[in-house]
Amino acid sequence: MPKVSDAHRHARRDEIARATLRCMRRQGLSGTTMADIIDESGLSAGAIYGNFSNKAELIRHVAAQVLDGRAHRIDAFTAADGPGHPSPAQIVELALTSLIDDDVPFEVFVQFWAESSVDAEIRSTVQEFTGQLEQVFVRAIRPWCDQRGTDRADRASAEALAPVMIAICHGFIVRAAVSGDLDPPTYVAGARTLLAD
């Protein structure tokens, strides 16, 4: 039997992840079973279980895909040549806009968070990926923070700002999931006004 290439395996895992998101959008996180994912993907049970041993592993893969998409966009943005360094508000706006551009289902995020309150395995996944996104934000805004002042007391701390940035993103995601589309630039501008000294 010929060996499956890494590229083929990654493509198959991504295909299964997309089917999983479609199911979760329709049926919710707790309402989606591996049988549903098998039906949605059109693949055999062997193809699914050959890539993911259970639903929890599949959820981790879906979360990793969403995080990787944001990390790549933010890293590319901060690496681009331009005047100054991106501010925390610019990074938040980019993260939110990229979620919309990639059609990431906000309602699935909210379900992950809700389920994490009663499922330790999902809570661990949510905490892990929130921590990773926080580090992406720290890395992205550290140059901006460093240029704000030479006196340590006057300089904003990337580590202190990143959790606030995460919370602002969470608020946007919950509001968009419950109330419909929001405009990231308008939302971020409102947050700037609200938080201004």
Query: Over 70: is that where the pLDDT of 2 sits?
Result: no
Q: How many CB atoms lie within 10 A of CB 48?
A: 21
Domains for the chain: give ranges and CATH numbers.
Answer: 1-53 (1.10.10.60), 55-195 (1.10.357.10)
pLDDT at residue number 50: 92
Q: What are 98-150's pLDDT values in tens digits?
A: 888 888 888 888 988 998 899 898 889 889 889 999 999 999 999 888 887 65
pLDDT at residue number 19: 94
Q: Tell me the average pLDDT across 16-43.
A: 92
pLDDT at residue number 153: 54
Residues in CB range of 136: below 8 A, 6 or more apart: 67, 70, 71, 74, 75
Work out the pLDDT band at 156, boundaries 50, 70, 90: low
* Distance, CA of 86 to CA of 96 (rounded, Å): 15
Residues in CB range of 69: below 8 A, 6 or more apart: 98, 102, 104
Query: Over 60: is that where the pLDDT of 155 sits?
Result: no
pLDDT at residue number 112: 87
Burial label, 79 (beta-carbon count in 10 A; 0-12, 13-18, 19+):
exposed
Q: What are 175-197's pLDDT values in tens digits?
A: 999 988 778 888 888 888 887 65
Work out the pLDDT band at 70, boundaries 50, 70, 90: confident
* Dihedral sign, Cα of residue 55, residue 57, residue 60, residue 66: negative
Query: Over 80: is that where the pLDDT of 24 sits?
Result: yes
Q: Tell me the average pLDDT across 26-55.
A: 92
Query: Over 90: is that where the pLDDT of 64 sits?
Result: no
Length of the chain: 197
First to last CA, the chain: 66
Nearest to 63 by CA among 109, 99, 96: 109
Burial label, 61 (beta-carbon count in 10 A; 0-12, 13-18, 19+):
middle
Phi-psi sector, 78: left (phi>0), alpha (psi -120 to 50), beta: alpha
pLDDT at residue number 1: 52
Query: Residues of the chain with pLDDT > 90: what percent?
Result: 34
Query: What's the token pair of residue 9?
Result: 């395996």
Q: Tell me the average pLDDT across 151-167.
A: 80
Work out the pLDDT band at 37, boundaries 50, 70, 90: very high
pTM of structure: 0.81
Q: Tell me the average pLDDT across 72-101.
A: 85
Which amino acid, 122? I
